[in-house]
Every structure is written in C-alpha cells, then in structure tokens.
Structure 1
Amino acid sequence: MKMQAEVIREGELEKRSDSLFQLWKKKLVVLTKDSLSLFPDGHKRAKGKELGFGSILKVDCVERTGKYIYFTIVTKDRKEIDFRTSRAARRWSRRRAPRSGGWPGRPEPPPFGPADTAPEHTTGW
C-alpha cells in the first residue's frame, strides 16, 4: 500500500489543453515534496496525473497580464505544459516552486513562509 505524501500546497490552476482549440481547463493541483499532481474537475478522488520533479527541466513565468499569470513547465523530454492563474490567486502562484531551473537535484522544496516575505517578482511559479 502506497503512503500518501504530505501535501505542501493545494489549489486550482487552469491548464491549457493539448487539443486543437487549446482551451483552458481547471485542475486541482497538489504539491508534495516529490511531485505535482493534477486532478480533473477539482476532485482528488478522480484519477490524477502525477509529474515527478525528476522529470522537470524548468519552470518559467512567461507572462503577467492584468488578469492572469502564465507559466510553463518544461519536462526533460521537452514537453511544455502551460498553466495560468488569476492575479487574485497570485499568493498561491508566488509560493509554489523554486525559481527557473526547477526542482531537479533538490532534495525537498524550499520552505514556505508568509506570503508577505515572498519576492514580488519570481521567474518560477
């Protein structure tokens, strides 16, 4: 029986679909020290997709608009996964992961302090 990892952060993000129309779909995102898991329709009981940090090459913040912050996860096989979060959810996005260069080689994620201590400008999500 697999033990569940301690959840560091959990919340909703929008992921761009791989379909022809590239629609944004809401996902429940769960961050642990080892992985990022995505669940459809905001329910953990549905089967989720797990992205281990060993497979991530980098995380880049690609754009900030008045309404959204857009960022991309690039995997070691060069697949790009696009996400966005509303400016209202900015606190979540600023505290989610390390700066560009990502998790690989890090034994555990950085500590999460109060949101006020997080830098205003980050290149990671």
Structure 2
Amino acid sequence: MASKLTMTPGEILREGELEKRSDSLFQLWKKKRGVLTDDSLRLFSGTSERAKELRFHSILKVDCVEHTRKYVYFTIVTTDFKEIDFRCTGESCWNASITLALIDYQNRRAVEGFRRHRFQRAASEAEEEPESPEQRALSP
C-alpha cells in the first residue's frame, strides 16, 4: 500500500477482478471489476462505467469466512449490519487489501476526531480562563 504522504485523495490503491454473490434467489457469483481507493470500494459490472460504491464510512468490518484451494470467501458488513458476500482467488488477497484500506481509513478518522476534540477543548479552556490581575485593573 502506498504511503499516505505521497497519496492523493481518491488515488487507486488496487484494481482487478473479484466476485460478488447476487441477492437473487439462486445467489450466483458475478464477476466484478473492483477499484479500491483510500475511502471506498467501487464495483463495476462488465463494461459498464457506472459503479456501485461501498464507502468506508458505511462499512463496519470485513470478515474472512473461508479459505479453499481456489478461493477466499469474505463478507463486508455494513454499519446497518447488511452482509455482502465476495470471493477472490487465493493469491489475489482482495480481502486483505480491503481490510488494510478500511483500517487506514478508520485510523485517519480517529486521529481527525482526536485533533478536533483537542482543538475544541483548548478553545473552550481559553474562553474560561480567569482574567489576569492586569486585565482586572483595566476593567471598570
């Protein structure tokens, strides 16, 4: 995975083929072209340029379900607990790439939240500081 110092927002981390299980009655596996960025996984069907996008803010976790000789089966669990099943060839390691990108995204959000909280706390403490003796002497 590329260093965050050199990465631009929306930069493609990985691109390639993986399969998604359909929601239909027969639950067929459909080949998709996946494009993984630092904040989402986009899935393209066939030659279509329209993509379904799974943004990381709506993904809770990636569960690895099963390894077979040919495939790794994994599930993406969304924040509303919807499960989306995927499989990829064992050597392609899509599940690992998605998991690492998701963890990186979650870490960046946690650091941003910490900085925002620290900045807000510092600002509120500055407002609550008592007046210095010099400031009281100048007050009417």
Flag whether TM exceeds 0.5 (same fold).
yes
* CA displacement at 1:102 relative to structure 2: 4.9
For 2:21, which of 16, 22, 26 is the aligned residue? 16
Query: Is the alpha carbon distance of 1:102 and 1:16 closer, same or farther for their aligned partners in structure 2, counting shifts above 3 Å?
Result: farther
Partner of 1:81: 84
Does the Cα contact within 8 Å between 1:7 and 1:30 map onto a contact in 2?
yes
Structure 2: where are the runs of 5+ without partners?
Answer: 1-8, 110-140
Query: Is the alpha carbon distance of 1:102 and 1:62 closer, same or farther for their aligned partners in structure 2, counting shifts above 3 Å?
Result: farther
- Which structure has greater helix proportion? 2
Query: Is the alpha carbon distance of 1:104 and 1:93 closer, same or farther for their aligned partners in structure 2, counting shifts above 3 Å?
Result: closer
- For this pair of structures, how many residues does the alignment match? 101
Structure 1: where are the runs of 5+ without partners?
Answer: 109-125
Does the Cα contact within 8 Å between 1:56 and 1:102 map onto a contact in 2?
no
* CA displacement at 1:56 relative to structure 2: 0.3
Partner of 2:97: 95
Partner Cα distance (2:98, 2:79) in 1: 20
Local SS of the residue matching 1:25: strand
* CA displacement at 1:66 relative to structure 2: 1.1
Partner of 1:68: 71
TM-score (normalised: structure 2)? 0.64
Deviations 1:60-80 (A, max 9, x none): 110001111000000011110
Residue 27, structure 1, aligned to residue 29, structure 2:
no
Query: Is the alpha carbon distance of 1:56 and 1:93 closer, same or farther for their aligned partners in structure 2, counting shifts above 3 Å?
Result: closer
- Runs of 4+ aligned structure 1 residues displaced above 3 Å come to 92-96, 101-104
For 1:54, which of 32, 48, 57 is the aligned residue? 57
Local SS of the residue matching 2:92: helix
Higher relative contact order (CA 8 A, sep 6+): 1
Partner of 1:119: none
Partner Cα distance (1:21, 1:47) in 2: 24
TM-score (normalised: structure 1)? 0.71
Partner Cα distance (1:17, 1:64) in 2: 20
Local SS of the residue matching 2:43: strand
